[in-house]
Amino acid sequence: MRPRHEDAVVGFVVAVDRGRYTCVVDDDRTVVAMRARELGRRGVVVGDRVHLVGDVSGRPDTLARIVRIDERTSTLMRTADDVENALEGRQERVVVANAEQLVIVSSLSDPPPRTGFIDRCLVAAYDAEIEPLLCLTKADLAGPEEVLHYYAELDLPYVLCRPEREPDELREALAGRVSVLVGHSGVGKSTLVNRLVPDADRAVGAVSAVGKGRHTSTSAVALRLPEGGWIIDTPGVRSFGLAHVSPDSLLHGFPDLVEASTRCPPNCDHTGGSGDCGLDKLVAEGGADPRRLLSYRRLLASRTGEPEETS
């Protein structure tokens, strides 16, 4: 039977660093905690809502205990398959908990957009039942037409960001929600965070100081938005592994292709090897972009450990 802690305080985990969990409680007090032994091996991640006991004053050099983790409304995961030739490199990792929205940040130039990476993030979002939002940065350097045409059949919500303008459209989409930002290094994600949260550098520094750890650019960190809600900033990632996603769920990450699977023969693996896949028929009839089918099959192949396509 789970122990009861009537005096527990509810907190929101904003940073994790080497066994120390920085939490914000309802009155905006910051409390550092450790996991109680009674939690067993259950992990605590940024975005978790937890119950704290012990010294919850938030004073320097105090430490509370996390005794309970509330049930998660969503769990965004990635398979860490970016470590080549290492079995431990393909372990599942929880990125964040309880996110409502996944903001996929991609620049339109320098570096150019990588639809393969965007596709991976979309699959992860749909699998976790989190709403995706495409955020296209550096719109002063290139237009969005090519990227938007690629996703035309998805009705994918998007916002454009330019360096000379305030990201008001993005602010409106984030207000009052828990959103997680993902993107390759160099796409302007940190610049966006600093514009959305004017004291972001100071806030991140404060979290690092409280947690006595390294700078939090190496791990996820949650920041409160002035308009209400939270953004969870994640480090720039080279890959977003999907080995934990089943083949059926992977296909449902391509809603423009999934209906055509009803035209496939029984037990079709959708790789195209049989020559009778309904997805090939759909493309041949002009019902889907052949690049979308190619991307799906690349992701399908990557689940078995073949090299990731990031373009």
Q: Specify the pLDDT at position 184.
A: 87
Q: Provide the whole-model pTM.
A: 0.86
Q: Does 189 show up as a binding residue in the annotation?
A: yes
Q: Specify the pLDDT at position 311.
A: 47
Q: Does 97 show up as a binding residue in the annotation?
A: no
Q: Specify the pLDDT at position 144.
A: 97
Is residue 74 predicted with pLDDT exceeding 90?
A: yes
List 66's β-bridge partners, or say none.
35, 52
* CA–CA gap between residue 115 and residue 309 (Å, rounded): 10
How remote is the C-alpha of 295 from its chain's centroid?
20
Q: Omega before 111 cis (within 30°)?
A: yes
Q: Does 190 show up as a binding residue in the annotation?
A: yes
Rg (CA), the chain: 21
Q: Who has greater pLDDT, 274 or 218?
A: 274
A 10 A CB-CB count for 166 gives 11
CA distances from 190 to 70, 195, 232 (A): 30, 9, 11
pLDDT tens figures, 38-53: 898 889 999 999 999 9
Is residue 165 predicted with pLDDT exceeding 90?
A: yes
Q: Does 138 show up as a binding residue in the annotation?
A: yes
**Least confident range of 67-81, 96-110, 204-218:** 204-218
Q: Does 277 show up as a binding residue in the annotation?
A: yes
* CA–CA gap between residue 151 and residue 147 (Å, rounded): 7
Q: Which residues contact 37 (CB under 8 A, 6 or more apart)?
A: none
Q: How many alpha carbons fall within 13 Å on the CB side of residue 145?
A: 2
Is residue 213 predicted with pLDDT exceeding 80?
A: no
Is residue 11 predicted with pLDDT exceeding 80?
A: yes
3-state secondary structure 64-88: EEEEEECCCCCEEEEEECCCCCCHH
* CA–CA gap between residue 106 and residue 261 (Å, rounded): 30
Q: Does 48 show up as a binding residue in the annotation?
A: no
Q: Does 184 show up as a binding residue in the annotation?
A: yes
Q: Does 7 show up as a binding residue in the annotation?
A: no
Q: Does 23 show up as a binding residue in the annotation?
A: no
Q: Specify the pLDDT at position 2.
A: 53
Q: Specify the pLDDT at position 82.
A: 46
Q: Does 43 show up as a binding residue in the annotation?
A: no
pLDDT tens figures, 84-137: 444 444 567 888 999 999 999 999 999 999 999 999 999 999 999 999 999 999
Is residue 205 predicted with pLDDT exceeding 70?
A: no
Q: Specify the pLDDT at position 86.
A: 42
Core vs surface per residue 28-49: b (16+ CB within 10 A) or e: eebbbbebbeeeeeeebbbbbb
Q: Does 54 show up as a binding residue in the annotation?
A: no
* Collapsed DSSP state (helix, strand, coil) of residue 10: strand
Confidence of residue 199 (pLDDT cuts 50, 70, 90): confident
Give percent of the chain with pLDDT exceeding 70: 85
Q: Does 270 show up as a binding residue in the annotation?
A: yes
Q: Does 57 show up as a binding residue in the annotation?
A: no
| Average of per-residue pLDDT across 153-157 | 92
Q: Specify the pLDDT at position 149.
A: 94
